Amino acid sequence: MAEAHQAVAFQFTVTPEGIDLQMSHQALTEIYLSGMRSWKKRIIRLKNSVITGVYPASPSSWLFVVIAILATMYTRSDPSMGLIAKIQEHLPVSTQCQAVVSAVLFSTMLWLLLIFTMRLCLKQLLSYHRWMFEQHGKMSNTTKVWVALVRIFSGRKPLLYSYQGSLPNLPVPAIKDTVKRYLESVRPLMDDTKYERMTKLAEEFESSLGNRLQWYLKLKALWASNYVSDWWEEYIYLRGRSPIMVNSNYYGMDFLYVTPTPIQAARAGNSIHAFFLYRRKLNKEEIKPSRIPGTVIPLCAAQCERMFNTTRTPGEETDTVQHWQDSDYIVVYHRGRYFRLRVYQAGRLLSPREIEFQIQRILDDPSPPCKGEAKLGALTAGDRIPWAKARMKYFSSGVNKRSLDCIEKAAFFVALDDDEQGMMGDDPAASLDRYAKSLLHGKCYDRWFDKSFSVVYYKNGKNGINAEHSWADAPVLSHLWEFTLAFDSFQLGYNAEGHCKGDVDSSLPRPQKLSWEIPPECEEQISQSLAVAQALADDVDFHVFPFQDFGKGKIKKCRVSPDAFIQMALQLAYYRDQKRFCLTYEASMTRLFREGRTETVRSCTNESRAFVQAFDADVCSRLFRTALEKHQLLYRLAMTGAGIDRHLFCLYVVSKYLGVESPFLKEVLSEPWRLSTSQTPVQLSEMFDPVNHPEYVSPGGGFGPVADDGYGVSYCVVGDCMINFHISCKRSCPVTDTHKFGAQIRKALHDLLQLLSPTQKEPSKTVTQGKKAC
| Pick from 418, 445, 402, 293: nearest CA to 362 | 418
Q: How far apart are CA 587 and CA 312, in angstroms?
A: 23
Give the C-alpha separation, 180 to 199, whole Å.
9
CB distance 705 to 728 below 8 Å: yes
Alpha-carbon 170 to chain mean position: 19
Under 8 Å between Cβ of 302 and 590: no
Give Cα separations from 55 to 62, 262, 336, 628, 771 (angstroms): 12, 47, 49, 40, 46
Cα separation, 297 vs 127, whole angstroms: 10
Active site residues: 469
Whose CA is closest to 669, among 655, 654, 648?
648
> Residue 373 corresponds to which amino acid?
E
CA-to-CA distance for 256 and 71, rounded, in angstroms? 64
| Beta carbons of 121 and 152 less than 8 angstroms apart | no
Residue 715 CA to residue 727 CA, distance in Å, equals 9
Burial class of residue 70 in the structure, from the number of CB atoms within 10 Å of its CB (0-12 exposed, 13-18 middle, 19+ buried): middle
Strand pairing category for 320-323 and 310-313: antiparallel
Phi, psi of 83 (to 5 degrees): -70, -35
- The span from the CA of 240 to the CA of 581, in Å, is 28
Instruction: Quote the crossing angle between the two packed helices 606-613 and 620-639, to the nearest 10°.
Output: 160
Q: Residue 430 and residue 487: Cα distance in Å, rounded?
A: 29
Is the preceding omega at residue 56 within 30 degrees of 0, hence cis? yes
H, E, C per residue of 364-402? HCCCCCCCCCCCCCHHHHCCHHHHHHHHHHHCCCHHHHH
Which amino acid, residue 546? P
Helix (H, G, I), strand (E, B) or coil at 266: helix
Cβ distance 22 to 11 under 8 Å? yes
Greatest CA separation found in the chain?
105
Closest CA to 642 of 142, 223, 196, 133: 133
CA distance 62 to 68: 10
Cα gap 57→118, rounded to integer Å: 8
DSSP 488: I
* Buried/exposed code over 300-336 (b: 16+ C-beta within 10 A; e: otherwise): bbbbbebbbbbbbebbeeebebeeeebbbbbbbbbbb
Cross-strand bridge partners of residue 457: 416, 463
d(CA 437, CA 444): 11
Q: What is the dihedral of CA 397, 400, 405, 411, to 10 degrees?
A: 180
